[in-house]
Structure 1
Amino acid sequence: MTGPSRDVVQAGRVSGGVHIHHGAAGAEGTGARTPPRQLPGEPHRFVHRTAELDRLDGLRTAEGDYRPGVCVIAGTAGAGKTALALRWAHRSRERFPDGQLYVNLRGYDPGEPLPPLEALHRFLGALGVPAPAIPAEAESAAALYRSVLAERAMLILLDNAGTDAQVRPLLPGLTRSLVLVTSRDRLSGLAVRDGAHRITLGTLAEAEAVELLRTVTADYRPDDTPEQLAELSRLCARLPLALRIAAERAASRPHLRLDDLIADLRDESALWEALSTGDDEEADAVHSVFAWSYRALPPQAARLFRLLGLHPGPDFGPGAASALAQLSLRRARHQLDVLVGAHVLEQTAPDRYTFHDLLRAYSADQAGHDEPAEQRTAALRRVLDWYLHTADAAQAWIEPNEDRLHLDPPAEGVAPLTFAEYDHAVDWAEREHANFLPAVRAAEQAGLDRHAWQLAAVLYNAQSPSAVAADWLSVGGIGLEAARRLGDRRAQARLLESVGFCNRRVDRLAEAFDAHTASLEIWEELGDRRGRADAHNALGLIAMRKRDLDSAAAHLTRAVAGFDELGLGHWSAVCRSNLAEVHYQAGRLDDAAAAVEAALADHRRRGDDRSIGNALRIASDIHLDRGQPEAALRAADEALEIATDLRDHVMEGYWLLSSGRAQQALGRAAEAQPSYHRSAVLHRRLGDRSREARAWQGTAQVYLASDRTADAVGFLRRAAEAHRTLNDPWHEAAALEALAQAVEPEAPEEADRHRGEALRLLGPFEDPRAAGIRERIELLRRSDGDG
């Protein structure tokens, strides 16, 4: 995410985010980040559909845009709608310089379709909008989405849409973008109301179907005749999905006569007709091919296939598969290879697998038919146990100082992963991130409340260090409700703590305060001294974020005393570091330096890298205020090295602010600007608007020193507005003071207004630092008046 040092950030009149300009070329980026490139891989062995590809090419007007910018690719299940859309999208990427967005709306999955609001949240996040800035209501989020896309040329692929209502909030309005929608329905409302084009994808012509079969089988069965292949294509209703599965089965049995395979398929067709109540010829053909392939699987592979339909998430690895089917990891990998070879499962990366939505539905349906209810429940318990215990093992590396839950042993046949080093644990957390919320939801829906709350609690500490805090809040909400249903007060308090910390990280300070206050009440009720100390530390951090420094110091002092009484030296040192920051914020530099030096020495003795880095960041700020920029930069650089080693974007983004200030004080603008730039990008992705705005303010100071006043003013106006929206008077006042300095040469009256407003905002603060800033601003106003 780091650009070259020649990259600069430019504010001004932008919608939805900061714009980046790369060198002299000045090509505008997307929201201060690399344009999103979300398309899945291009389909393998794609044949024909040339007329449809030509029609898609023809959507572009002579002016090079797309109006109306919506096209629905409709067709029956298995007709190759997604493959066509991806084929065209990949070969047309250059037409959309601002990137591509992709989402599977899961309109036909066995589970719930993806709500438009969730899709909007994903898209807005990819476009650089921080989580707290995304409205909770779908209508407002859609309006923001249209604003962000207003000047961009993007390709947006909405896959597997079930209804017009799923699609309409995701249409960008009048832009240079194009939306491709795939659906089994015609979505006539989009044509009537939105002027959408429609391409209806039918079955392949017989010659095309035969060619597709030949493409897959030629290297294995060169002697099959065109007549035999034509017969096989007719039994597959000439649908690409069914043809590929049938071709794969034929290719895997090169010594079996094709006539015998065709006879087997006819038998499966008869079986399906006996079981089916529908009369849709194409759907029957797809189901017949599925059944044909399923019944040809070895028994162990067939069992794994149907149990995988119970997996709650979008993809999975061998570990989860082994838990579902009670197989060894080696055996699970082998059976997964069998399923991939049979073309009933897709391998998307090493040790990662997913289903086509039709096959997922068929798999779950077979589990319902062939597995008794108690066996299905047992399989779900096993995979949830696998996630729970593997996450617990990851927590031991990612958050080793956090208490681990006392878990029941995993079910028989479950072999959770263990990790040999920190990076392996983080790799797992990143791979499985998309499965965390579905796993907790599956536990809730199955009535497994103990699994639901324990998964939520453990997954909070087993997240990747760079995970977006807002992503866990839905997980935590489900876990908290499960704990309440169980009447487990200790579990509620623990989850409320995590909910509070997540809300603080995304600037929802009121919600964070309520959660930590409720947690403290429960710990008081239970007489849990450790819990009380944790809650006071958390409330102290919120008070410090709100710059209620007296309250922060009171809470943190109580936390230190509580941890000291319990002999918890690590947490006592953490709170002493936090107290050092309170002293620093108040301008009591000697007290801050003494506290942070003692805490840093304690952290170094314990080898706690994360806490060492945080103490170094505080020390850097103190050095800078004391006029020691070299020492400040050394401390910040050591902290940043720790953040990089830990792959922790939360810490890296925050500590880059200190690094940028030190570099700027040393006159190293060429180094400070990229530090602020990366900090802004990281905080935008993480949803921390306050710290993102501070990065903008740092960039503005660099620009002021470089005589780029107009750019500086743009950033400072945005920073002041962001802090005002967040109800953060301290940082708003700082932005306004800097803005006054920037505009004063050309607009002295405006500068005076900004200084007056800054003084008003600083009025309630009584600490030495606030008093010093007020005195400085008042002196400037008197000086201007005398002039």
Structure 2
Amino acid sequence: MAKEKSGSGAPDGRWETTESELSGRAQDVVQARDISGGVHFHGSAARTPAVPRQLPGDVRGFVNRSADLDRLDLILATETESRLSPVCVIVGTAGVGKTSFAVHWAHKVLDRFPDGQLYVNLRGYDPGRPISAEQALERFLAALEVPRAAIPTDLEARAGIYRSQLAGRRMLVVLDNASSVGQVRPLLPGSPGCLVLVTSRSRLSGLVAREGARRLSLDMLDEPEAIALIRGLVGDYRPEDDLAEVAELAQLCARLPLALRIAAERAACRPRMPLRELIADLRDESALWDALTTGDDEESDAVRSVFAWSYRALTEDAGRLFRLLGLHPGPDFGAEVAAELAGIPVSRARRLLDDLAGAHLLEQLSARRYQFHDLLRAYAIDQVRLEESPEARQEALRRALLWYLRRAAAMVRAVAPRTASVPLAGDDESFSDHATAMVWYEQERPNLLAAVRGAAEAQFSDIAWQLATCLHRVYARLNHFDDWRVTGDIALPAVRAVGGPADEAMVLESVAKMHTQSGSLPEGVRFHRAALDIRRATADVAGEIASLNGIGLAVLRAHRLAEARAHFEQTLELAVRFGDREWEGIAANNLAYALAELEDYEAAKAAHQRALAIYRELGDRGAEGDALRCASQILRGAGNPAEALFAIETALGIAQEFDNRAWEAWWLVEFGRVQVALGRVDDAIDSYHRAAVAQRRIGDRGREAVALDATGEAYRLRGQHKEAIDFHLRASAVFRELGDHWALAGALVNLADAVAESGDPAAADEHARSALTALDDFTDPAARRLRERSRARISG
């Protein structure tokens, strides 16, 4: 586990993933990317499929629409008998109640879909960015408990895993507010058993033509239903209202449920005001709107008239908060950021948010989270542009963005306390513990990404690069490569616009780590070198040490061992000259890994002992465990498996002391190799099994593949060639998708041996030839041995 200076002693192993870990053997250094499928272990460790329950709660006060509900029942009954996965597109104008209708019907048929429901608001008509198919798939795969690191970056690969996850299951998928066929098509299951409901203002004719989707068009409510909706919402407050006046109110609202609910709420809040006076107010607002517009869309005009009518009835403070919320860059929000936008106490913001939700001008998602209907957000944006000066808008937005920056910095301090962070003036935010910070991050993740974008678009370049750099510390631990890549692309031009050389080097280093962790090793080296150039030009020795080490890690992953050794030696020399003992220990231990790969065990032992002494001097138990794992590899390679056993058992004890599942999962592979060297093959299989299952849960499919390949080797030693072949095939498929030629070569040589011993020499020769091709660029001792094994297999 070669290291970066990134908090090896963190007490919670859930966050210790690949940023601070590299394999002890370069053969094992792989990174999850673009992987599908998996291995199935038998026994108690098998994973129970996730049963997501994402459907929003049923709608209060839903009125009949009985004919439309019956039509949807008929579609379900007929289509499930004759189609792979029926798709129903519910279309209609804005505010007609498409979402409420879909959710209400879905609740009626939940028992037909015992494997769960997936729901996403695609935000196709929001003023901001819609949710892309890639983003929706990431959310669905996470809900299906696919590890984050196993989620590929490209759309096609994500869609393939999604279809595999849904195969053979009965699930309901609700795709709300889709604006295009392109948003929907990748989210369609590929096998029987599932039903997809899509809501849209567009007709999505491509789905009807190509996928055979059934379209159900919702019209405005008929008059009795519209009256029933109003009566249901205000009846207890206004039982004496004249039916004709209720009908007139419904007509002024164009009989659209969104407008009807807002109007009914206002009427319910004024039980002593005659309904005819409320109608007169609304009629006046409608006349004013007619005078200001020239459009002929009666439904839209009616909705905006109701919005304006309800908005003008708000208190001054509530109205100001409503329109300022239109500046919020993300999809939802709580009282804290609302308070920042308005410059008011959180307690006051909370009361005003409740008022706005009570008036149906906001939707309440949970006890303390709110969102806009897309039409209401557009109206809020219009109002804030009309009623607030550009300076006031900029100040409000900056306050909100600075709140996200302060909270993100506090989150990093809680989850990665030893990680270098962006210095912020007046930053006194904090989280009580790691778990609280993680909950906040998961809740705010879409808003944080939107905040980086919003800061850049508003020309707040300082906030854009600082917030992005804070978030990169967490993205690295969770393998959130999509967000990391987007924010990195924003951060670089932002820091170049307003930051200094040290700031730019910090961002370049972060982008380099993203490429290295995601498997784009040449790009990782390129960005590390760019950071190195800046740091050398500005005599930033501490930064130069970090950049040299980063390059060393990238080339070690690529099994370019001579380069890795040279970079770690330079890192070590600079760390000694600079007097940084922590970096001296890191560089010495990384050098020991490179030397062990080169099979220079005496030199590796000396470097390891130097690192171990420093770690013990500094009291860094986590780093000590890493050094002991390195010692095990060196001792095993030098032919001392009994001593290696003591080292790796001590290292595993440290992993358990920290309850660090990532360390334990990876070190179990070394434990298994030591057990094989001692002839304890059955014990090794158990260790590899535990490692593979743990890596899957953590989300590192690359290291899972290493454990699978090692499992195949152990089964071959037991003479179980069929099992060995299966494990080697699965491992080699992962390595091939990763483009990791070194890891692939090792798995193919192992596969060739297993296939030959099973009695198929011709197939074994093909695997051996493929291994030779993968070995073209490698000349180290281990590569020479693999090449000799492959040639011997072919000639034999």
The alignment's TM-score, normalised by the length of structure 1, stands at 0.84
SS at 2:451 equivalent: helix
Paired AA for residue 446 in structure 1 = A
* Superposition pairs of residues 577-596 of structure 1, within 5 angstroms: 577-588=589-600, 591-592=603-604, 595-596=607-608
Give the conservation status (yes or no) of the 8 Å contact 2:148–2:480. no
Equivalence for 2:358: 341
Distance 2:45 2:524 in 1: 44
Bigger drift between 530-539 and 484-493 goes to: 484-493
Equivalence for 2:75: 59
Q: Per the alignment, do residues 610 and 302 of structure 1 end up closer, same or farther by CA in structure 2, a change over 3 Å counting?
A: farther
Distance 1:662 1:234 in 2: 80
Report the CA distance between 1:312 and its aligned residue. Answer: 0.8
Equivalence for 2:6: none
Paired AA for residue 325 in structure 2 = L
Q: Which of 535, 542, 548 matches 1:530?
A: 542
Paired AA for residue 59 in structure 1 = I
Equivalence for 2:572: 560
Matching of residue 265 in structure 1 with residue 279 in structure 2? no
SS at 2:658 equivalent: helix
Q: Per the alignment, do residues 282 and 740 of structure 1 end up closer, same or farther by CA in structure 2, a change over 3 Å counting?
A: same
Q: How many residues align?
A: 754
Q: Per the alignment, do residues 650 and 311 of structure 1 end up closer, same or farther by CA in structure 2, a change over 3 Å counting?
A: farther
Q: Which of 174, 177, 186 matches 2:203?
A: 186
Q: Per the alignment, do residues 761 and 216 of structure 1 end up closer, same or farther by CA in structure 2, a change over 3 Å counting?
A: same
* Superposition pairs of residues 170-249 of structure 1, within 5 angstroms: 170-172=187-189, 176-218=193-235, 220=237, 229-249=246-266
Matching of residue 431 in structure 1 with residue 440 in structure 2? no
Equivalence for 1:298: 315
Report the CA distance between 1:489 and its aligned residue. Answer: 3.6
Paired AA for residue 295 in structure 2 = G
Render the CA deviation track for 1:379-438: whole Å, top value 9, x for unaligned: 11111111222222222333333333344558xxxxx73223333333322222212221
Matching of residue 372 in structure 1 with residue 389 in structure 2? yes
Give the conservation status (yes or no) of the 8 Å contact 2:35–2:152. no
Give the conservation status (yes or no) of the 8 Å contact 2:516–2:554. yes
Equivalence for 2:563: 551
Equivalence for 1:6: none
Distance 1:735 1:542 in 2: 21
Matching of residue 103 in structure 1 with residue 115 in structure 2? no
Distance 1:350 1:404 in 2: 32
Q: Per the alignment, do residues 166 and 466 of structure 1 end up closer, same or farther by CA in structure 2, a change over 3 Å counting?
A: closer
Q: Per the alignment, do residues 744 and 378 of structure 1 end up closer, same or farther by CA in structure 2, a change over 3 Å counting?
A: same
Equivalence for 2:418: 401
* Superposition pairs of residues 693-712 of structure 1, within 5 angstroms: 693-698=705-710, 700=712, 709-712=721-724
Distance 2:278 2:574 in 1: 74
Give the conservation status (yes or no) of the 8 Å contact 1:741–1:751. yes
Report the CA distance between 1:650 and its aligned residue. Answer: 6.5
Gaps of 5+ in 2: 1-13, 15-33
Distance 1:215 1:146 in 2: 42
Q: Per the alignment, do residues 721 and 24 of structure 1 end up closer, same or farther by CA in structure 2, a change over 3 Å counting?
A: closer
The alignment's TM-score, normalised by the length of structure 2, stands at 0.83
Report the CA distance between 1:471 and its aligned residue. Answer: 2.2
Equivalence for 1:8: none
Paired AA for residue 579 in structure 1 = L
Paired AA for residue 208 in structure 1 = E
Distance 1:67 1:581 in 2: 52
Bigger drift between 169-178 and 379-388 goes to: 169-178
Q: Per the alignment, do residues 537 and 338 of structure 1 end up closer, same or farther by CA in structure 2, a change over 3 Å counting?
A: same
SS at 1:79 equivalent: coil
Matching of residue 572 in structure 1 with residue 584 in structure 2? yes
Render the CA deviation track for 1:717-754: whole Å, top value 9, x for unaligned: 13213323434233123212332343344334134554
SS at 2:402 equivalent: helix
Distance 1:347 1:705 in 2: 60
Give the conservation status (yes or no) of the 8 Å contact 1:697–1:719. yes
Render the CA deviation track for 1:236-286: whole Å, top value 9, x for unaligned: 333222233333334444555555444443343333333333232322232
Paired AA for residue 37 in structure 2 = G
Report the CA distance between 1:73 and its aligned residue. Answer: 0.3
Equivalence for 1:16: 36
* Superposition pairs of residues 687-726 of structure 1, within 5 angstroms: 690-698=702-710, 700=712, 709-726=721-738
Give the conservation status (yes or no) of the 8 Å contact 2:668–2:688. no
Q: Per the alignment, do residues 391 and 612 of structure 1 end up closer, same or farther by CA in structure 2, a change over 3 Å counting?
A: farther
Q: Per the alignment, do residues 220 and 432 of structure 1 end up closer, same or farther by CA in structure 2, a change over 3 Å counting?
A: same
CA RMSD of aligned residues (A): 4.0
Q: Per the alignment, do residues 653 and 292 of structure 1 end up closer, same or farther by CA in structure 2, a change over 3 Å counting?
A: farther
Q: Per the alignment, do residues 485 and 543 of structure 1 end up closer, same or farther by CA in structure 2, a change over 3 Å counting?
A: same
Equivalence for 1:679: 695
Q: Per the alignment, do residues 629 and 511 of structure 1 end up closer, same or farther by CA in structure 2, a change over 3 Å counting?
A: same
Q: Which gives a bigger RCO, structure 1 or 2 (Cα 8 Å, sep 6+)?
A: 2
Equivalence for 1:359: 376
Report the CA distance between 1:141 and its aligned residue. Answer: 7.1
Equivalence for 1:34: 50
Distance 1:159 1:176 in 2: 20
SS at 1:77 equivalent: coil
Report the CA distance between 1:529 and its aligned residue. Answer: 1.4
Matching of residue 279 in structure 1 with residue 263 in structure 2? no
Equivalence for 1:11: none
* Superposition pairs of residues 365-514 of structure 1, within 5 angstroms: 365-407=382-424, 417-463=429-475, 465-486=477-498, 488-514=500-526
Q: Per the alignment, do residues 525 and 620 of structure 1 end up closer, same or farther by CA in structure 2, a change over 3 Å counting?
A: same
Distance 2:716 2:81 in 1: 39
SS at 2:94 equivalent: coil
SS at 1:199 equivalent: strand
Report the CA distance between 1:203 and its aligned residue. Answer: 2.1
Report the CA distance between 1:144 and its aligned residue. Answer: 7.9
Distance 1:69 1:34 in 2: 22
Gaps of 5+ in 1: 3-13, 411-415
Bigger drift between 88-97 and 434-443 goes to: 88-97
Give the conservation status (yes or no) of the 8 Å contact 2:323–2:383. yes
Q: Per the alignment, do residues 246 and 276 of structure 1 end up closer, same or farther by CA in structure 2, a change over 3 Å counting?
A: same
SS at 2:330 equivalent: coil
Q: Per the alignment, do residues 160 and 583 of structure 1 end up closer, same or farther by CA in structure 2, a change over 3 Å counting?
A: same
